[in-house]
Structure formats: structure tokens, C-alpha cells
Amino acid sequence: MTDVVHLTAEGVSLVLDCSLGALPAVLHWGSALGPLADADLVAMAADQPLVAPNEMDVPVRLAVLPEPHRGWGGRPGVSGHRDGRDWSPAFTVTDLDVTERSVVARGADDTAGLAVVLEVELTASGLVRTRAEVTNTGPGVYTLDDVHLALPVPDRAREVLDFAGRWGGERTPQRSVLQVGTHERDNRRGRTGPDAATVLSVGEPGFGFASGEVWGVHTAWSGNHRHLAERLATGRQVVGGGELLLPGEVRLDTGASYRTPWVYFAYGHGLDDQARRFHRFLRSRPQHPSSPRPMTINVWEAVYFDHDLARLTDLAERAAALGVERYVLDDGWFRNRRDDHAGLGDWYVDEGVWPDGLGPLVDRVRSLGMQFGLWFEPEMVNEDSDLARAHPEWIMQADGRLPLRSRDQQVLDLAIPEAFAYVLERMTAVIGEYGVDYVKWDHNRDLLEAGFPGGGAAVHEQTRATYRLMATLKERFPALEIESCSSGGARVDLGVIEHTDRVWVSDCIDPLERQRMHRWTQQLLPPELLGAHIASGTNHTTGRHHDLAFRAGTALVGHLGIEWDLARATEDELRDLAAWTALYKELRPLLHGGDLVRLDEVDETRLVYGTVAPDRRSAVFFFASTGRSDVSNTGRMRFRDLDPDTRYRVDPVVIGDGHLLRGPDWWSGPREFTGRVLETVGLQPPQTPAECVVPFRVTAV
């Protein structure tokens, strides 16, 4: 038995040096190495870089929890102190558990008075995930400032891809060169944020969806967090991340522990391979949604705060006639909530608007065969609310002053047991009384100056309390589904998705904007977890006007819904909307269970993407035009990752009049091609208007 451990899964190898009583260090993380004998592993461990002039006298050993005492000059794994002492721990591993897919190392530094448990796991889908738990074993308080986990990447990985964004424009990709220094993405919003890095990847220059090796990191935490890529003057490179702790946020008494969130590392041959590892991991979880994702209508952009039983009932009846399966009542149902300036925290049905409660609406929705969903914003409070007037001490603040308002609201400190109990009781009462199937869980402001009243920073505890609240509600209502909505897509991460069943990608449902947002949110989450709604003709966020085919065809890639006042739809639109609903129900097993495919396109005005069934017997691809090209013919569209030797029939899907859509000649022929021809040669695309999407069914003959 060697001290070098080789973990393998689905095309990935992770080789760990667990020798010398030291914390595990990565010798290789990347493409699968095949079977290796013990002698091969020993040789890998012995192959150390030469010591360069003016460096340490021995090769630097880089552990998963990086250690300065081993010569690492980048960000350390543990930063903290005990009144200025014990700030550079030197852990000695005393116990090591190795399984087929994991290594757990337990170590201690008796001088510093710290113990550590480091977990490293290779999932069946090929993701590496790791976390650490630090315990204060010494006298007095240990102030923990940072725990950082990192994996090395080879020197050929020199291009960085991560994401930025804003409200209504989440997950905007950005690329840069990895230079000597640190490419660091700190998030201090108290929630994941619309500008979150999401997945920070470093790869071979020019890597794309199907080409180039990429190594990425994602911190699974919904509070403050960090992602980084670091290149030292020695040429050593890492990607890493962890929770970003505010000053004094974690102070460990003797015997107390802090455990990091999971930090996920994803390797792939191209971005699609990397994304599929996340998707397969998520789909393998026992809590992953297993029932078909119900076609949904959310009433927000139809009525806003104008809650009227007759109007909302009419909307339910129109939706049910189209085949809608879930009806969601949004903001405005509770006391004092006639606009967004008051009422948050008063989670009682407003008797003035709903004199008979929500029962008449809920009963009608259920009689139409639909589930009933309801909007909450449990972590927030308006100063103009009965709750804030009764308990101003429950509002998060810094040094006795309230933070600046955002959307006229403040943050309710759920780490206060009484505040937590109040929200839990109110949500339990409403969900229980009406048998609510689904909660749209919103979170509409950053946690600016978020602290305990009269105390220290509290984002860490607030995040943990939010997870605990979600988990408790799921325990009480096992069939309840929760959507993570946070000013749209500002809380999209693998921490919150452990407790929720989908995310709201963005408050902007303009299909032109959503083409990009769906494309890149899928780098982390599979489409069945992405709330994607069909907007009204004139978008409420951008003011753009699009035809129904573009709106519906764009939203089809996701968990489909409607956000539209159907009383204003024409008969033709209702007919076509029913057809799109039927198409979604037909395709959702494939869309929500297949492999993501995105084509690298030279012309930025078009996108080709799709989903291929695991057995490669069927697929659906989309050709999307997002603008006017500077040439009249942008070239053939290719469909990738089909079986090269299988013959497929390709059928365009056209719903509606398609008056500006012109099909090429092959549309009128037998439409049969081999998978090799579809990937290598491709097909002539249709002529389309500037903003249009055309789906194609691809079926093995």
C-alpha cells in the first residue's frame, strides 16, 4: 500500500500524496490516467520540480489546504490568530480514512491549539469537492479570518473565464489572461449576487464548449464568498475558494469548530464536459426533482399588486385551458402590502383584499387541476410594518444604526431565535392552511452592514439560519417545492440548491436577454432547475417587442412557465401558446434528462445549442438568431455529440404563422442524415428575422 492515492470517476483522475503525516497534496487533477500500479504512483510523487535560485531549499508542497510553513507563498489555507499568536499553523496528520472515492485527513497542531478535518471527495460525475473543519483545541478564543481550499492547475491553463452581471442581466461571461498575481472575485453582498463569478474556470487559451482543457471552481455558499485563480512567480497555479468571513465573524471558544461550505472543482475537455459534470452530480442527488417540472403561471407581470379575486380567477381559468399545471400568487397577498414600501414581515392574509382569505382562489385553482404556489420574502422586513414596530431589535444593523434602505426594506435577523420562530410559525400556518405546493422565496436586497443588533457581523449566521428555515419547512411539508428567487438570479449556487427545487434565472424575461442568461446559467445548473417564463409581447423590463415564437422558443429550455396577462392575449396567441405548452410536455423528459450541447459559433448573431439523450437516439437542437449579421449567409448549423453512424431524421418545429421564416430546400426532402454528417458538414439553417429561434427534433431512424 502506497501513501499516494488514485481516485477515478468518469474520465477524471485525482492523485493525492498523503505521505509524511502531511495534509493531502494533489499530484494530478484532470484527465483520467487509466490503471496505475503502486510503482507508478510512487514515481509521480518523487517527480518534484527543481528548486530554483533564491527559493526555499526544498520543493514547495502544496496541500489542498495550502500551508505557508511548507513554502507556499500564495493565499494560505487557514488565516487567524489567538491574540496575535498561532497565526501560521503546521498541521500533522494523525488519522487518514481512504475509500474508493474519498480521503478524509485528521490533523492537529498542538502548539497552535488547532485541529483540522479535511475532506476530499471525487463524485461519480467527476467533480472534486472538498471542505475543512477547524477546531480550537487551545485556551482562549481563536479568531478565524479565512479558510481557503485550492487545487493546482497546470501551467498551460492561462485563460480565465468567469461571470459578472447586474440586476436583469445576470451571468455575463468575461475572459482574461491569468498573469502572475491573483484573479480574485470577492462577493460581499451577503447573498450570491447577480455579479457572482458562479464558476471560475482557467483553461488552455481559446478553450470553447467542446475544445480545450478547463479547470474550474465553485463555492457552494449563499452568503459572502470568494473565488480565485492564482499564479505565483514560481509558475505554480491554483484555483480555489471559500466563504468570505467578515471581521470577527467567526470566533472559536475552546472546543468550538467552524466548517467551510463545500468547494467544488470541475475539470472538463471543454465547457460542455465541465457543465455536464455539475448536471449529472445534481441529478444524482436523492432530493433532485423527479416529477415532471409542471408548466407554471406566475401572476406578477399580469397583475402586480392589484389583487382582485375575479381577475385572478379568470387568469387561472385561462391558464388551465392552455394546459398549465401550477399557479403562483406573487407579492401583495399579505397585510399592508399595496406596494413595495410596506408590509414585509406581516405574513397574514390581508383581510381588506381577501375578506374570505385565499381559500376561494385556492379552491378554484385546485378544481382546475393545478397546484397552488405562493410568494414569500422571509428574510426581509419593511420598517413600515407591524413586525418592525413591535420588534425593531430584530433588524440587522451595524453599531446601533440601520443600514441604508434598499427597495424600502431591511433585513430580518433570522439568527435571533425569536425572529426565526416567528417567521417559521407564520409560514407554517399559511402553507398548512392552504396546502401550498410551492413557495417562491424572494430576497430583494443585499446584506449591507449586516450585523447583530449591538454586536458583530452576522452574514455567516444569517445564511445558516436561512438554510435551516428552508430545511425545517421541507421537513414539515415533505412535498413542498421552493424556488430560490433573489431580485431574480442573485442567489444561484450549489448551497441554496441543496434546499430548493429551482432558481429564478432573472427578473428580466426578455427572450433576447434570456438567450445569454440561459446559455451561461447552465454552466452550473441543468435546465430543469432554471425558471424560464414566456413574457408578454412588450417586455416589462426592456420595452422590446418580440413575437410569441421567440419568447416561447427561448423559454422552452428551462422549467417553462408564463408571466403574462392572458386576458390581453389574442385568440391566435392563445392557440399557439397551447401548442408550445404541449411541445414542452412532450420534450421535457429529454430537455430535463439529456446532455447539454452548445456549439462554438464565429458569428455572434446566432447560437446553436441543444440536448442529446444519454443513449443518443434522440435530441432537440435550437437555432437562434439574436441580431443582424454583417453577411447574408452565416453558414451551416452543426449538431454535435450524436452517434456518428446512426441515421437521424431532422424535423423543424414551427408553431404559428412563421411569416418571416423561410426554410431551406432540405426541409421538403426526406430529412435523413448520419450523425457524422450533422456534426461535420451540418445543414443550411433557415432564413430568419433578426430575433428568432427554431427548434429541431432529431430522431434516430
Q: Is 507 a catalytic residue?
A: yes
pLDDT at position 110:
97
- Give me the residues of the chain with pLDDT under 50, please: none
Active-site residue (options: 330, 350, 442, 547): 442
Q: Cα(531)–Cα(545) distance, rounded to whole angstroms?
A: 21
Local structure of residue 171 (DSSP, 8 states): E
- Render pLDDT for 542-558 as a digit per residue (tens, 0 to 9): 999 999 999 999 999 99
User: Which H helix or E strand runs over 410?
Assistant: strand 410-411
pLDDT at position 1:
53
Q: Cα(428)–Cα(417) distance, rounded to whole angstroms?
A: 16
Task: Please calculate the CA angle 598-271-174 and round it to the nearest 5 degrees.
Answer: 95
Give strand ranges (E) for 55-158: 78-81, 92-98, 102-109, 114-122, 128-136, 142-147, 149-152
The region, left, alpha or beta by phi > 0 then psi within -120 to 50, assigned to residue 660 is alpha
Q: Cα(225)–Cα(196) distance, rounded to whole angstroms?
A: 9
Active-site residue (options: 501, 507, 510, 595): 507
pLDDT at position 50:
86
pLDDT at position 342:
97
Give Cβ neighbours of residue 289 (< 8 Å, ≥ 6 apart): 481, 501, 502, 528, 529
Residue from 222, 149, 164 nearest 484 by CA? 222
Local structure of residue 123 (DSSP, 8 states): -
- Rounded to 5 degrees, φ, ψ at 106 are -115, 130
Cell 475532506 belongs to residue? 119
Polymer length in residues for the chain: 701
Given a contact cutoff of 8 angstroms between Cβ atoms, the answer to whether 87 and 79 are in contact is yes
- Render pLDDT for 31-57 as a digit per residue (tens, 0 to 9): 999 999 999 999 999 988 888 889 888
Which amino acid is located at 140 in the chain?
G
Local structure of residue 35 (DSSP, 8 states): -
Strands 296-298 and 559-563 come out as parallel
Q: Cα(326)–Cα(366) distance, rounded to whole angstroms?
A: 9
Q: Cα(245)–Cα(224) distance, rounded to whole angstroms?
A: 7
Given a contact cutoff of 8 angstroms between Cβ atoms, the answer to whether 692 and 549 are in contact is yes
Cell 491549539 belongs to residue? 113
Task: Please calculate the CA angle 4-7-13 and round it to the nearest 5 degrees.
Answer: 105
Give DSSP secondary structure letters for 583-625.
HHHHHHHHHTTSEEEE---SSTTEEEEEEE-TTSSEEEEEEEE
Task: Please calculate the CA angle 107-112-116 and round it to the nearest 5 degrees.
Answer: 25
Q: Cα(210)–Cα(204) distance, rounded to whole angstroms?
A: 12
Q: Cα(490)–Cα(483) distance, rounded to whole angstroms?
A: 12
Q: Is 595 a catalytic residue?
A: no
Task: Please calculate the CA angle 120-126-131 and round it to the nearest 5 degrees.
Answer: 25
Q: b or e along 235-250 (b: 16 or more beta carbons within 10 Å of the residue's beta carbon)? A: ebbbbbbbbbbbeebb
Residue from 201, 209, 158 nearest 180 by CA? 158
Given a contact cutoff of 8 angstroms between Cβ atoms, the answer to whether 277 and 124 are in contact is no
User: Which H helix or E strand runs over 562?
Assistant: strand 559-563
3 state SS of 431: helix
Q: How many CA atoms lie within 13 A of 130 on its CB side?
A: 31
pLDDT at position 626:
96
